[in-house]
Structure formats: C-alpha cells, structure tokens
Structure 1
Amino acid sequence: MAPYHIRQYQERDHKRVLELFSRGMKEHIPAIFRRMLTLPRTLLPLFGVLVTIVLVSGSWLLAAVCSFLGLLGLWLLVWFLCRKYVATCLHTDLADITKSYLSARGSFWVAESGGQVVGIVGCRPVKDPPLGRKQLQLFRLSVSSQHRGQGIAKALVRTVLQFARDQGYSDLVLETSNVQYSALALYQAMGFQKTDEYFTSVTMRLMTLSVFHFTYFLPFAWEPGM
C-alpha cells in the first residue's frame, strides 16, 4: 500500500500548499546560478574584470574580492527573480485556490502522508486553445523534498490525466523551465511531448532560462460539438 493518498484540496490545506510551492521554487536557485556560470556572457566579463584589476592594481587579493562580490551579486539577482516569481504566484492563483481552480471548472489535489500534505497539483481549462482542441493545463506540481522518490509526483500527474479524460479534454498541457531537470525527465517519461519553447522576458533570454511547453495528447481526442 502506498504511504500516501491523494485527495481534493480543502481550505485547511492552504498554508501548507503555499509552503510547498515556495520551497520547491527556491530549490531551483542553485541550478539557475550554476547555469549562469557556464555562460560565456557571464564568465568573460568576470574574467575581464579580474585581469583588469590585477593589471591596474597588481593585487590578486583585490581581484579575488571583486570576483567574489560579482558572484554574490549574480546569486542575489537569481534569488531576487525567483522570489519575485513566487510572490506573484502567491498573490494570483494561489491566493484563492478554490476560486482559481475548483470554481473555474478545474481542480486541485494534495498528496497526504502521515496526516501532512506532501505534494500538490492543480489544473484548469485553457482559455483560448487551438482551433478544434479542448485543452486542460496542469499547474503547480510540487512534492516535498523529504517525500520524493516514492512516485508521488507521477501519481499526481496521473490524477490530472484521469480528470482530463473524464472531462473530455483532447490535451493536457503544461509549462516548465529548462532548469527543472527532474520535472522534465518525469514529463517526458510519462509521454508528454515538447511542443514549444520561448523566453518570458529579455532578462530571461540573457540568462538563457527558457520555458518549455509540453502536451500530452489524450488517446480519445475531443471533437467540437461533443
């Protein structure tokens, strides 16, 4: 028997849902930072500053301190952008989950283990789907770091897939970033197909942080008029 069970969201879960989402997003900060350090547009300026300081001052210590401050500034930039995104989510759809999901012809589920919410996922209809398609979008998939490796994330996605089938949707779609490696592996292993990739802003383009759009084509396609 699985050490968890999945049930529909209740108002008493709200605080824990916000905690899970916030912690999950902040876990991506190191991955984003490491990715930034591999970019020539990041490394070359840092190296140039290091060489310039050494040539001008002759001090390797000063150069090391300036390089450290540069790296610290880069970390703070990534931290700030992540925190800004989390704050936006907490003040939009996650501010009132019942209104945003359950009352919007979608749903929201939690995975519970030992009386505690350890996983979350939501879905709601796509407002303007492609012509001839009826699409449901998956949102906010997250599992507590202490409960990963138990199949909870896969079970949550399967719950959304079953909901999509029961409601007659043709596709289940989702978006995730190119640094959410475990999520990318999960979606691809479950049969989702990458159908688009884009940048949400100039800043994200400079950081090469793109958004992947995935689609799961349900076997019994919905047709207009059904």
Structure 2
Amino acid sequence: MYIVIRKFQPSDHEAVRALFRDGMQEHIIPSFTHAITQPLHITVTLCFFTVGYILGGGSVVLALLAGGLWIGLLYYCCYEHYAGYARSKLNTDMRDIAGFYLSRPDNYFWVAEAKINSRPQIMGIVAVEGKELPDSGQKYGELFRMSVSSTSRRTGLGWRLGQTVINFCKERGFSKIVLQTTSKQSAAVALYYKMGFKPVRTHKQAPWWGLRLVGVSILRMEKILQAFDGM
C-alpha cells in the first residue's frame, strides 16, 4: 500500500477528526485493564464486595452492586482521560485545523493518504506548533496529534510522520522538538525513543483525582536539534 504524506486540505476535516478521536479512544480499554488488575485496586474491589455484602445483610446483589460501582468509577476515569481529552481538542485546535495550523508559518498539519479500492483514505496525521522559549527567545516545535490508523501500524508510517515533523523543524532552525504522551501509550513511547526523543519530565500524578486513581503518568519528551547559548 503506497502512502503519501501531504499538507492538510479542508476536505480532509471530518476524516482527520474521526481518526484522531478513534485513536484516542482506543486507549480506554487497555488503560482500564491495567488499572483494574493492579494489586491495590483488586484489594479495594474485594473490600467493596465485602462491605456491600455485610451492609446488605448477606445480599449478593448488594455486594455485586457495591463492587460494580467501584469498577464503574475506574472505567469512568479511564474513559474521561482519553475521550475527554479528545473532546477538548476537537473543540479547540481540531475545530479549525486550517485556521490554527496553516495560517501561521511555524505551524503545520500533515495527513498520510492511501488509495484503497481507488478511493483516497486518511491513514495517519501529525501536526506541529512553533513556540518560543521565554528566557532565550529560541524557537522550538511541539509535536501534536500523532495518530495512525490501525490498518497502517507496524508499517513505518509513524516513523515517517515523526520524521516529517523533524525535517520541518530543522528547516526553520528550531532548537528542539517537544511532545507529551502517556505511559500507557507504549507503542508511541517506544517510537519516540527510537527517533531520539528523551524524557525530560514525568508527572506521576496529574492534578485531577481521577488520573491519580488510574495511575496514568504524563511523559514530556524532547529531541534536541541544535545547541544554543545558555544550554
């Protein structure tokens, strides 16, 4: 399958938004599975079952209800982390992709397109936003919205999209590229390591209590492109 990486076009809008949303929501179940199988959460689940059984006077139904409420809370936290994030971005920069990413010289948005049964289909996306370091005035790029269709994974497309961003940032003389991802997105983290990104900060607990409960770590990674004074 031949895939071309090109500039975003307005006609891509709905397909790009759907790919981004679906890609984020794919992480809900793995995140929930990881959370519910942690020793602490297994213990808490058993405690809820036990308390429900005792308070319900030996009622199995109330025991199941109590345990189910706890399990449901864990799932809700996982769901809101990924689906809520997708909702937020679909209502901000992804609401007007051309206006946000293509109207400024240091921003850009790419799509990876393939023809399947003679019809074009979006197989991947990635974006970059140019920013400026407040202390030095040096420009750097932040990689956003990297997502690859499930049918195009393990084909090297993620690497190609990432390299496209790297080349763009080098051409503009950016000092580095930064990005954020989560510890549960293991495939993405492995790819970024291979491309030369290194972790510079890990938020073991996000401010929202739900993320603390699920235990998702936010990783900030960067790739240095050129040294500058003060480094």
TM-score, normalization by structure 1 = 0.88
Which amino acid letter does the alignment assign opposite residue 137 of structure 1? Answer: E
How many residue pairs were aligned? 222
In the TM superposition, residue 179 of structure 1 has moved relative to its aligned partner by 0.8
Equivalent AA in structure 1 for residue 227 of structure 2: A
Deviations 1:17-72 (A, max 9, x none): 10000000000001221232144553333211222334453344543454234323
State the TM-score, normalized to the length of structure 2: 0.86
| Residue aligning to 1:216 | 223
Give the superposition deviation at 1:77.
3.6
The equivalent residue for 2:110 is 109
Aligned residue in 1 for 2:158: 153
Equivalent residues in 2 for 1:117-196, closer than 5 Å: 117-128=122-133, 131=136, 133-196=138-201
Structure 2 contact 133–139 (Cα < 8 Å) conserved? no
Moved more, 37-46 or 9-18: 37-46
Provide the secondary structure at the position in 1 that maps to 2:68. helix
Distance in 2 separating the partners of 1:160 and 1:77: 32
Aligned equivalents of 2:37 and 2:131: distance in 1?
Answer: 36
For structure 1, which runs of at least 5 residues remain unmatched after alignment? Answer: none
Percent of pairs with identical residues: 33
| Distance (whole Å) between structure 1 residues aligned to residue 107 and residue 17 of structure 2 | 19
Q: Residue 32 of structure 1 corresponds to which residue in structure 2?
A: 31
- Structure 2: 5+ residue stretches without partners: none
Shift of 1:196: 0.8
CA contact (8 A) 1:168 1:222 kept: no
Identify the residue that residue 20 of structure 1 maps to in structure 2.
19
What is the CA RMSD across the aligned residues, in angstroms? 2.2
Q: Could you tell me which residue of structure 2 aligns to residue 74 of structure 1?
A: 74
CA contact (8 A) 2:178 2:220 kept: yes
